Structure formats: structure tokens, C-alpha cells
Structure 1
Amino acid sequence: MSLNQPVSKQQKAFYRKLFIAHQIETESHNLLSLHKLTGMPRRTLQDSIAAFSDLGIDCEFVQDEGRNNSGSYKIADWGPINATWVSQNLAQIEQLLN
């Protein structure tokens, strides 16, 4: 991954999904907490999470025992994505997204 080359819209969407998946993997998050952490619009977050399956990432929403829609996302399987690589390159991914 090179920071010197321009990043296409498709590449940016790909890296955004990896970034969001990493955040979900490392900490318990719902849509509101992801919005506060990333500053991304809620709709962008929803669309990105919904498109995880395009990359082979299996993400689930785990419902709390409390009220409806209370819970957090969980990465059940990274599929073909190397989660260690994402973690090791997180700073570069963040730079590409900003």
C-alpha cells in the first residue's frame, strides 16, 4: 500500500470496510459508537457493514437482553481477509481515508 499514489473511490470504500471491521473486532461497537469514533455518517457506516459480505467478512449484530436494537456488532469470520495485516497497517489505512 503506497500513500504516494492517488486512491480510487473503490479502493477507499474497500479500506473503509477494513477499518470499520477492525474497529468492530477490537472493541464492542454499535452504530452510534462507530459514528462517534469515526465521524463517518451513519448511512455510510450502515452501507459499509452491509457490504462486508462482498469481501467475505461475516459480521453479526448481537442483540442485548434489554430493549430492541440494543446490542453490538461482532465479526464472526474475516473470510479471506488477513485481520493481522489490517491491524499492522491501520495507521496507513487511516491516512488513506482522511
Structure 2
Amino acid sequence: MELNPVFARRLYLCWLLTQMEKPNVPRLMEITGWPRRTLQDVLKALPGMGVTLNFVQQGIRNNDGFYQLSDWGPLNEGWIQHHHQALKEAIGH
């Protein structure tokens, strides 16, 4: 299966957001090895794909909190769950 790495990165991040407890940028950077800017760009692109992503504020600072994927939109969650390993391979992770 040949996957576009940019699209695969977005799908993989969707999967990852559903697998982690309280995923935030520092933890996602640690797990993926992606630079902060790349991660922020991918997070920013998800709503444009129809994915509903919420930031749950915790703490006092503006960026204290975590991301929550609440609706997969047009994406097939089952397919992504089943193929998450292929997605990781497509992005070299």
C-alpha cells in the first residue's frame, strides 16, 4: 500500500490522539520525534479535513491542556485503527 507521507502523517496523528491520555504538544513531540512546528502544522490541518479537534484547557497558562479528537468527520476510524502501522511506516516512524 503506497501512502502519501503528508496525508499519512495526518491520519497517524488522528490515531495517536485517540490512543493517548491527555495528548499535548510536548508529549506528542516526544512520541513522534517531530519538531514542534511540524506537529502544530499537522494539528492545524486536521479541521480542514473535517476532523473535529478540541483543545481542553487545564491550568492557568494559555497552552496548558490537551487535544481531544471528538469527531473523525469523513475519515474511516476503523481503517485508520487497522492500518496505523502502515501509516507509521509511510512516514518513516
Aligned to 2:68: 74
Aligned length: 90
Deviation >4 Å, runs of 4+: none
Note the residue ranges of structure 2 that are not aligned, 5 or more in a row.
none
- Deviations 1:2-58 (Å, cap 9, x if unpaired)? 15xxx5xxx211110111111111212100000000001110010000000221111
- Please give the alpha-carbon distance, in whole angstroms, between the structure 2 residues aligned to 1:17 and 1:38: 12
SS in 1 for 2:14: helix
- Please give the alpha-carbon distance, in whole angstroms, between the structure 2 residues aligned to 1:44 and 1:92: 20
Aligned to 1:56: 50
Matches within 5 A, 1:9-88: 11-27=4-20, 28-64=22-58, 66-68=59-61, 69-88=63-82
TM-score (norm 1): 0.86
Note the residue ranges of structure 1 that are not aligned, 5 or more in a row.
none
Higher RCO (CA-CA < 8 Å; seq separation 6+): 2
- Please give the alpha-carbon distance, in whole angstroms, between the structure 1 residues aligned to 2:90 and 2:27: 22
* 1:83 to partner: Cα distance: 1.1
Which one-letter code corresponds to 1:62 in the other structure?
V
Greater C-alpha Rg:
1
SS in 1 for 2:73: coil
Report the aligned-residue RMSD.
1.1
